[in-house]
A and B are shown apart, each in its own frame.
Chain A
Amino acid sequence: MVITGASEKVALQSLKASDWHLEGAFDVFYSQPQVAVTNCRHLEELYNRYKEQDADMIMVEGISQLCEDLQVDPQDIVMLVISWHMKASTMCEFSHEEFIGGLQSIGVDSIEKLCEKLPSLRAELKDDQKFREIYNFAFTWAKEKGQKSLSLETAIGMWQLLFAERHWPLIDYWCQFLQVRHNKAISRDTWSQLLEFVKTIDPQLTNYDEEGAWPYLIDEFVEYLIENGVVQRSK
């Protein structure tokens, strides 16, 4: 482990595969297709740099520091992508496991390496499938622990962030509509169905179907758009 920088698990695997011969184990290890090699010790060091003094968590301060080190804005969407890799349960907090596991799955063990990875992390948002996963992840991550719904303010912030990556011409109307007409928290169903709406219905709403079992909030949004002359009623 010290030499290869492999994790305990991988080390054990390699040893088993080579019948507990050390040299054979090295062969196994280096011949396996590795995505990346991460050094456990480095990761621990990294974690300790950011973790809270009296808790086994990375909290706001640590995250700020991390962002500074990475030279990214804390509001930068790449932080969301990173959090997604970490499977973070809530924003502004990383548990020990989440942090280590996340960085391992990204395949980095140092700030420099993470910095190098930033562009490719950003690029993940361009992938349809990954975008959807990240989008849906964002709901759970952004809401308060113990709450079922996402507060409107946070939701709007997240949406604006996300739809900057994947352009939706109606995003501003949507946010406006919510503030004027709804003013309440957003349910998970509404959140996830909105992405479907964005993906399948064109901005002029020509293929919007009233019987389409869209959440009522989206139906009301369509009404709002028609009332304000943004789109024509299709009938």
Chain B
Amino acid sequence: MSGGGPPRKRNFKIEEFKNRVELDPKYAERTWKVLEHAIHEIYNHNASGLSFEELYRSAYNMVLHKYGEKLYGGLESTMTRRLKEISRSIEAAQGGLFLEELNTKWMDHNKALQMIRDILMYMDRTYVRSSHRTPVHELGLNLWRDHIIHSPMIHSRLLDTLLDLIHRERMGEVINRGLMRSITKMLMDLGPAVYQDDFEKPFLEVSASFYSGESQEFIECCDCGNYLKKSERRLNEEMDRVSHYLDAGSEAKITSAVEKEMIANHMHRLVHMENSGLVNMLIDDKYDDLARMYNLFRRVTDGLLTIRNLMTSYLRETGKQLVTDPEKLKDPVEFVQRLLNEKDKHDKIINVAFGNDKTFQNALNSSFEYFINLNNRSPEFISLYVDDKLRKGLKGATEEDVEVILDKVMMLFRYLQEKDVFEKYYKQHLAKRLLSGKTVSDDAERSMIVKLKTECGYQFTSKLEGMFTDMKTSQDTMQDFYAKKSEELGDGPTLDVHILTTGSWPTQPCPPCNLPPEILTICDKFRSYYLGTHSGRRLTWQTNMGTADIKATFGKGQKHELNVSTYQMCVLMLFNSTDGLTYKDIEQYTEIPASDLKRCLQSLACVKGKNVLRKEPMSKDISEDDTFYFNDKFTSKLVKVKIGTVVAQKESEPEKQETRQRVEEDRKPQIEAAIVRIMKSRRVLDHNSIVAEVTKQLQARFLPNPVVIKKRIESLIEREFLERDKTDRKLYRYLA
């Protein structure tokens, strides 16, 4: 070998085997037989004696030499034969062993299939694919399905067995859940269609009729609460069943079947059940039952709607009775307390049992709004309730308690349609509280004002706040007055003046009565002092709103301090100079208006324990022919006797009419202002639209009456703010 030259190319050639290894048909047959034998052995649990490698190779060779079809066909027929035998053995099983036998054989088959598939893997990958045959594993399952499950003897027996077991479990027996699980899993493995058609559908049908029957039975003998308990239990059982041995996909279907049969089909009967239905549960605060009902009904269409509708109509009915029952309306404070209690009760129910469901909250609100406004005295009564609380009810309460109570009252306030009526009364009551000094806590008062302002805006509360300011300013003024004028005043009566800004206070103009000379003197001194520093202002004494503390000495020397109204003071002071006076005398000297005078004399002479005057004749009522005497014989256990009270009270019928009239009068300009505002911006508008717009604009304060709106429109036409359109009489135009 020389190594010097260029390397020579050598041609490599790969040649086929000169000797073709021919597989002769006999060889194929033999190979098949080996494999067939192996399959049988596998099914016979004798697989350990087999050589995987050899079998695999055999199968491989067969496929390689184009005997794939033979192999596949052989497999199919062998397996089929085998399965037919298995089928017979399963059919032969007695009673309870049927299912077990089926299960066992299924396990075997699976194992066998596994091994067979491994052996025939090459065929699976090549021949099966190219000839579009069913892969081995799937083939095995299909054959099982066709020859076992769908075999006439087994098919119905399987289903019946399964359903029977389920039924027994429903009736309380314990069954083999593991076995059940295995069987259903088998069905799922065979394909969802098998599970559904051969088990699930019939299962659902049977269940539906089972529950239909059971619900019928229960509803005849159970009360609502118990029925719901049973339903809940059944529902839970089914869910449990699914999780233990059914396919997860069945859960929604079975639960909806139970819901339909047990709940949906009996909804109305349940809620309306006498003595145990929804209404009774509400009345008795049965939180658990209500919660259960809510959770169950939530699952069905219109379930919650059914509950809500019944609850609403019940609330409206009871509310209506509450606000129209004259007995319950006798005490306004108690009436409002009842309303608050009802609200609390149902709030709690919605909170605890209905999961704070907003739709229920809304139903509650709308019901309250409906019946509170059925009684047109509600605004007055709510104001009286607040008055009572601020006057004495909140004594000793903590700041949080106060807030809680006032917030609850505000909730009721929000339901009122006639908020302007409330404002009127609140002003009156507040004035009385402030002027008599009878408020429990200044902070509580202010807190209430803030809440009203937040709810209704500045306009609502500006005058109320003005009242507070006046009180404070008056205090300062009095201090200054006494500081400056103390020497001048000497020993006279002590004066405490509240200077009220007209317009902020709900005062009625009243001509002042004749004050006793001592009082008159000091009043004049105050007037000149005040006008000295506030020239240009005009002061008018409101003698119908004042109070006085008088020291009185009676027959046996008992001294009492009488707290009386200004009018009463004027009357009593007359008796300093004479013992007896006729009604007419008193009227003449004091110039107190007749109706006020009668009331004043009545409280001085006709009320037990407060009769500092004696009247002849001793009748109950004051007549113009009566004569009055100082009652020497007056006694009282208290040193300080209160006679003149300016406490806020439920208005009498005539007073109520008067207030209502004033409210109506106040509304007219508000309606007109709204109409003008709307027309100014819209220029031309038809009648119905104006009414709608006005209502919308004013609804925060009150609900305007369409007839009143129409009258205001006509008034505006008269005053040439508006005119009717020449061609369309339903249109109005704004006249600039």
Contacts and interface: CB of A to CB of B under 8 A. Distances in A.
A148 interface: yes
Contact of A213 (B707, B718, B729): B729
13 contacts: A187-B714, A187-B717, A187-B718, A188-B718, A189-B714, A213-B687, A213-B710, A213-B729, A213-B730, A215-B710, A216-B707, A219-B707, A219-B710
A190 interface: yes
Contact of A211 (B688, B707, B729): B688
Interface of B: 686-688, 707, 710-711, 714, 717-718, 724, 729-730
B687 A215 contact: no
Chain A, interface size category, equals: 10 to 19
Contacts of A211: 687-688
Given A211-B687, A213-B686, 14 more contacts: A148-B718, A149-B718, A187-B714, A188-B718, A189-B714, A189-B724, A190-B714, A193-B724, A196-B729, A213-B687, A213-B688, A216-B714, A219-B707, A219-B710
A187 B707 CA distance: 17
Given A189-B724, A193-B729, A196-B729, A215 B714 contact: yes
Contacts of A148: 718
A179 B434 CA distance: 49
A218 to B, nearest CB: 10
Interface in A183-202: 187-190, 193, 196
B711 A216 contact: yes
A216 B717 CA distance: 13
Nearest to B730: A213
A212 interface: yes
Contacts of B707: 216, 219
Given A213-B729, A216-B710, A216-B711, A189 B718 contact: yes
Interface in A206-235: 211-213, 215-216, 219
A149 B686 CA distance: 25
A221 B451 CA distance: 46
A107 B329 CA distance: 77
A216 B711 CA distance: 6
A196 B686 CA distance: 17
Nearest to A149: B718
Nearest 4 Cβ contacts at the A-B interface: A213-B687, A213-B730, A189-B717, A216-B710
Interface centre among A190, A211, A213 (most CB of B within 10 A): A213
Contacts of B687: 211, 213
Contacts of A149: 718
A193 B717 CA distance: 12
Contacts of A219: 707, 710
Nearest to A209: B730
A211 to B, nearest CB: 6
- Interface centre among A149, A211, A216, A219, by most B CB within 10 Å? A216
A33 B714 CA distance: 46
Contacts of B714: 187, 189-190, 215-216
Nearest to A217: B714
A212 B718 contact: no
A219 B710 CA distance: 10
Contacts of A187: 714, 717-718
B719 to A, nearest CB: 8
Contacts of B730: 212-213
Interface string A57-86: 000000000000000000000000000000
Contacts of A216: 707, 710-711, 714
